Chains A and B, each alone.
Chain A
Amino acid sequence: MNLEFTPEEQAFREEVRSFIAENYPKHLADFGMREDMAREDFVAWHKILGAKGWSVPAWPTQYGGTGWSPTQRYIWSEENARVNALMPLPFGVSMVGPVIYTFGSEEQKAKHLPGIRSGEVWWCQGYSEPGAGSDLASLKTTAVRDGDHYVINGQKTWTTLAQHADWGFFLCRTDPAAKQQEGISFILVDMKTPGVEVKPIKLLDGGYEVNETWLTDVRVPVENLVGVENKGWTYAKFLLAHERSGIAGVARSKRGVEKLREIAAHETLDGAPLIKDFDFAKKVSQLEIDLAALEITELRTLAGEQAGKGPGPESSILKIKGTEIQQRLTELTLEAVGTYSAPYMGGVSNDNGSNEHPVGPDYAAHAAATYFNMRKTSIYGGSNEIQRNIITKMILGL
Chain B
Amino acid sequence: MDFNFTEEQGMVRDSLSRLVREQYGFEERRKAIASADGWRPEVWAQLAELGILGMPFSEADGGFGGDAVDAMVIMEEFGKGLVIEPFLPTVVCAGGFLKHGGTAAQKEEHIGAIVSGTAVFAFAYAEPRGRYDYADLETTARKDGGAYVLNGHKAVVIGAPWASHLVVTASTGGERRDRGGVSVFVLAKDTPGVTTRDYVTVDGRRASEVFFENAAVGAEALIGAEGEGLALIERVTDEAIAALCAEACGAMKVAHAMTVEYSRQRKQFGVPIGSFQVLQHRMVDMYTAYETAVSLTYLATLRLGSDERTRKLAVSAAKVGVGQSARLIGQEAVQIHGGNGVTDEYAIGHYFKRLTIFDSEFGNVDHHLKRHVALS
* Chain A residues near B (Cβ < 8 Å): 1-5, 9, 71, 261, 278, 281-282, 284-286, 288-290, 292-297, 299-300, 303, 314, 317, 320-321, 385, 388-389, 391-392, 395-398
* Chain B residues near A (Cβ < 8 Å): 1-5, 69, 260, 263-264, 274-275, 277, 280-281, 283-285, 287-288, 291-296, 298-299, 301-303, 314, 317, 320-321, 369-370, 372-373, 376
Q: Give Cα distance in the complex from A296 to B263, angstroms.
A: 30
Known A-B contacts A282-B373, A289-B321, A293-B295; A388 and B280 likewise in contact (beta carbons under 8 Å): yes
Q: Give Cα distance in the complex from A388 to B277, angstroms.
A: 9
B373 touches which of A281, A297, A320 (Cβ 8 Å): A281
Known A-B contacts A281-B373, A300-B3, A392-B280; A3 and B302 likewise in contact (beta carbons under 8 Å): yes
Contact A299 B296 (CB under 8 A): no
Contact B287 A396 (CB under 8 A): yes
Contact A388 B284 (CB under 8 A): yes
B4 touches which of A1, A281, A391 (Cβ 8 Å): A1
Chain A residues touching B, majority SS: helix
Q: Give Cα distance in the complex from A288 to B298, angstroms.
A: 16
Known A-B contacts A286-B320, A294-B292; A2 and B302 likewise in contact (beta carbons under 8 Å): yes
Q: Give Cα distance in the complex from A261 to B376, angstroms.
A: 10
Contact A285 B283 (CB under 8 A): no
Contact B299 A303 (CB under 8 A): no
Which chain B positions have C-beta within 8 A of A278? 370, 373
Contact A289 B284 (CB under 8 A): no
Which chain A positions have C-beta within 8 A of B263? 398
Contact A284 B302 (CB under 8 A): no
Contact A297 B281 (CB under 8 A): no
Q: What's the nearest-Cβ distance from chain A to residue B284, in Å?
A: 4
Q: Give Cα distance in the complex from A290 to B288, angstroms.
A: 12
Contact B296 A292 (CB under 8 A): yes
Known A-B contacts A398-B260, A398-B280; A289 and B303 likewise in contact (beta carbons under 8 Å): no
Closest to A281 in B: B373
Q: Give Cα distance in the complex from A392 to B314, angstroms.
A: 31
Known A-B contacts A4-B1, A296-B296, A299-B1; A398 and B264 likewise in contact (beta carbons under 8 Å): yes
A1 touches which of B69, B281, B296, B314 (Cβ 8 Å): B69
Q: What's the nearest-Cβ distance from chain B to residue A109, in Å?
A: 33
Q: What's the nearest-Cβ distance from chain A to residue B277, in Å?
A: 8
Contact B3 A1 (CB under 8 A): yes
Which chain B positions have C-beta within 8 A of A300? 3, 294-295, 298
Which chain A positions have C-beta within 8 A of B69? 1
User: Told that A300-B294, A398-B263 touch, could you supply 8 new A-B pairs with CB distance under 8 A?
Assistant: A1-B2, A286-B320, A288-B317, A288-B376, A289-B372, A295-B295, A296-B299, A389-B280
Which chain B positions have C-beta within 8 A of A321? 288, 292
Contact A317 B291 (CB under 8 A): yes
